[in-house]
Amino acid sequence: MYKYKDNEGLVDLHVHTTASDGTLTPTEIVAYAKSKNLRAVAITDHDTIGGLEEALGAGDRLNFPVIPGVEISVDHQGKEMHILGYYIDIASDDLKENLQKLQDYRRERNPKMIRKLQELGFKINLAEVEAEAGGPIIGRPHFASVLVNKGYVRDKQEAFDKYLAGGMPGYVKKEKLVPREGIELILRAGGMPVLAHPKYLKEQGYAQLAALLSKLKSFGLQGIEAFYPNHDARDTETYLRLAAEHRLLVTGGTDFHGANKPDIDLGTGTGELQVPYEVVLKMEELRSGADGR
Ligand code: AMP
Ligand code: FE
Ligand code: FE
Ligand code: ZN
């Protein structure tokens, strides 16, 4: 069903900009997507819609379809889960207020991470990480960049593996919404909630994933990100099957972060990813209520 046909074109529905922890601006992303002959792009920054106005403006100017999105980190029984929201209303005050709260949680965490890294012997301060971020969303990739720039680690992956990943000595957990709150926030803003990169969940067996999806669907989940660079063919098959069984849409994207994830390119991921435009058509169909779900 989701076999890519040459003339249908491809999309990328999971993209980070400088508004969160990507390194290309929203305008640069739209221009890059257009230059790669994609059919559409969705901007999904972590916990912020700060890049969307610019992205939508660039889409208008360059005559390229841009879907306004967001990626909300939620706490799922102590483990991280990411919920993507598509077609959100960027004027929603409710959404703005709640995202501001999530940014406040980051602001509480950042000095604690600095202190831990200092205790590990690194000369690093908050101003350096803020400068690296260049905006209100400060994420662990920005800490990683500073550690790389100072020569403490060879690359960002080493920074995560040794210090910044969950459970590592530089990591500090931040307060988060729970899955139901993240899903409901997206729904209230008129958006379509989609479970991001299921491969990263603690649930891995089919039955476990099925139970989780049933629960998330009861909260209002509408889709699952089946196409993702870290999903192998078997994973993708599994997620397509789960989606069909739970009457969920499937989506896909690369999680492009520019130079912050140098192995991942827009549209193609590590080279093989193909997210068919048909995915967007199905999303629009659901939004217009055409398939009666
Ligand atoms: P934060 O939102 O500050 O918790 O940072 C989360 C971001 O850090 C993710 O979106 C990824 O870009 C990156 N990240 C998280 N875990 C890892 C990891 N183990 N290896 C590399 N990057 C990671
Ligand atoms: Fe990120
Ligand atoms: Fe994510
Ligand atoms: Zn992402």
Helix (H, G, I), strand (E, B) or coil at 101: helix
Contact 246, 105 (CB under 8 A): no
Beta strands in the chain (DSSP E): 11-15, 40-43, 66-76, 79-86, 192-195, 223-227, 249-252
pLDDT in tens, 150-172: 999 999 999 999 999 999 999 99
pTM of the entire structure?
A: 0.93
Q: Say which ligand is closest to the CA of 14.
A: 4
Buried/exposed 169-180: b ≥16 CB within 10 Å, e otherwise: ebbbebebbebe
How many angstroms is it from 44 CA to the middle of ligand 3? 9
How many angstroms is it from 156 CA to the middle of ligand 1? 10
Q: Is the pLDDT of residue 6 over 50?
A: no
Question: What pLDDT is recorded for position 265?
Answer: 97
Q: Is the pLDDT of residue 210 over 60?
A: yes
Question: What pLDDT is recorded for position 291?
Answer: 56
Of 3-17, 27-41, 59-73, where does mean pLDDT reach its minimum? Answer: 3-17
Task: Return the structure tokens found at 193.
Answer: 């909630």
pLDDT in tens, 89-127: 999 999 999 999 999 999 999 999 999 999 999 999 999
Distances (CA, A) of 230 to 142, 227, 264, 270: 22, 9, 10, 9
Residues 2, 276: Cα–Cα separation, whole Å? 7
Region of 292 on the Ramachandran plot (φ > 0 left; ψ -120 to 50 alpha; else beta): left
Closest ligand 1 atom, residue 20 Cα: 2
Query: What DSSP character marks residue 7?
Result: G
Question: What proportions of the chain, in percent to the nearest 5, are helix, strand and coil?
Answer: 45, 15, 40
Residues 198, 204: Cα–Cα separation, whole Å? 8
> pLDDT grade, residue 135 (50/70/90)?
confident
State which of 137, 160, 161, 260 you would mutate to test the pocket of ligand 1, scoring each by most atoms of that ligand within 8 A of its C-beta.
160
